[in-house]
Structure 1
Amino acid sequence: MARPSTQQQRRQDVVNAALAAASEHGLRELSLTDVANQAGVTRGALLYYYQDLEAILVEAHAAGMERVVTEREALVQEKQSATEKLTVAIHAGLPHGPDDALMRLLYEFDMLAGKSQLHDELVRKLYDAQLKLYRDILGEGVADGSFTLTGPLDTIAMNFVALEDAYGLHIVAGGSVTVAEALGAIELFAEQVGARVTR
């Protein structure tokens, strides 16, 4: 297997530094200097690989989103039944707790939507991935008789995404909702719309 080039590795190091610095300072206060300090390099060294802070953040957003989407889909595919898949999707779609830095950053990145076409595309890509995951699971459950949905499949899938996004934001933004409370609420919704989960 070919080894990644030095430039690729340096760019990845910068992305990792940006994620760490953003977790510490928050996106609104983040500066190029913060990322440089986290990476242990000069601002000039960063600008050799990236045009500006925005370019770094776009790549950091994409990297963080890819990890969340890919890992979640892999966990779901390990399960056999639609019921098990739905349960795993719900659990993996929420932050681990108020200190889940990556999930907090993804919510902060959402606030950049409307300010950058690239961020807009990434936000849409994440939403599309969430929606497709729930649609596929619900469709599988309907096809094998596990689920008897009480409304349109697409609408129910949209509501799953809306619930996990809303509860997830409250989990990381001050902990006004606990992970257990969010899981209970989403699982109750699943049962109310005719989709079963495992307890």
Structure 2
Amino acid sequence: MARHRDQAARRSALIEATYAAGLERGLRSLSLSDVAKKAGLTRGAVLYYYDDLDSLLVEAHAAGVTRFCDERDALVAAEPDPRARLGIAIRAGLPSGPDDALMRLLLELDVLAGNSVLHEELMRELNRRQCATYQGIVTAGVDEGVFSPALGAELVARTFVALEDGYGIHIVADRVTTHEEARRAMVAVAAQLGCPTA
């Protein structure tokens, strides 16, 4: 059992090293050696846990989707008011800035989705969970009488996800907008759509 825990801990550390190395090098330039160096290991030691860079990226992608969605959903679930929940979801869904390693990797991995069935499935799962989070908030707001969306809850949710993804790309690329500017813009759009935040 201890060996299994040790392997799980090492895999988790390698995923964190992948995020950090990806932030420094960018996904297109990332190598297994970059990850190994960031983790303080040899390339051979990394290969003990993963067959190649792509298998590591798939696991990092899956872990990133789960972490991003679970953490945001936990924040949202802790707030009873749908208006405050929407504000929390918007804020937590945007990268904190260009140095947000997890969000940068998730956005860059979108490029691989066209060439990999596994990455495509993970991108679909991320999109499904993003939409579910927003749709649940909008539906609750309608049920409680605090939202009166001009569009159906599903379309409003898709709109928020499109804004989140679009702004996210610009935030991590350190151009056009910042986290705070994007958050304010999404809050303004939410109000226009009949879903004011608190």
TM-score after normalising by structure 2: 0.94
Asked if the contact 2:97–2:178 (Cα under 8 Å) also holds between the matched residues in 1, the reply is yes
Aligned partner of residue 38 in structure 1, secondary structure: helix
Asked if the contact 2:90–2:186 (Cα under 8 Å) also holds between the matched residues in 1, the reply is yes
- CA–CA distance in 2 between the matches of 1:12 and 1:154? 35
Summarize the Cα distance change of 1:9–1:179 in structure 2 as closer, same or farther, 3 Å threshold: closer
Q: Partner amino acid for 1:18?
A: T
**Percent of aligned positions with the same letter in both sequences?**
50
Greater fraction helix: 2
- CA–CA distance in 1 between the matches of 2:91 and 2:8? 33
Deviation of 1:175 (Å): 2.9
Deviation of 1:5 (Å): 2.2
Greater displacement, 90-99 / 137-146: 90-99
Q: Gaps spanning 5+ residues in structure 2: where?
A: none
Give deviations 1:91-136, integer Å, cap 9, x for gaps.
1111112222221111111111111111111111110110000110
- CA–CA distance in 2 between the matches of 1:180 and 1:19? 23
Alignment of 1:100-111 (within 5 A): 100-111=100-111
Aligned partner of residue 103 in structure 1, secondary structure: helix
Query: What is the match of residue 50 of structure 1?
Result: 50
In the comparison of the two structures, how many residue pairs are matched? 197
Alignment of 1:101-180 (within 5 A): 101-180=101-180
- CA–CA distance in 2 between the matches of 1:142 and 1:127? 22
- CA–CA distance in 2 between the matches of 1:95 and 1:19? 14
- CA–CA distance in 2 between the matches of 1:185 and 1:14? 36
Asked if the contact 2:149–2:195 (Cα under 8 Å) also holds between the matched residues in 1, the reply is yes
- What is the aligned-residue RMSD (CA, Å)? 1.4
Deviation of 1:8 (Å): 1.8
Give deviations 1:168-193, integer Å, cap 9, x for gaps.
11111123112222112111111111
- CA–CA distance in 1 between the matches of 2:86 and 2:71? 15
Query: What is the match of residue 34 of structure 1?
Result: 34
Aligned partner of residue 80 in structure 2, secondary structure: coil
Q: Gaps spanning 5+ residues in structure 1: where?
A: none
Summarize the Cα distance change of 1:18–1:98 in structure 2 as closer, same or farther, 3 Å threshold: closer
Query: What is the match of residue 89 of structure 1?
Result: 89
Deviation of 1:158 (Å): 0.5
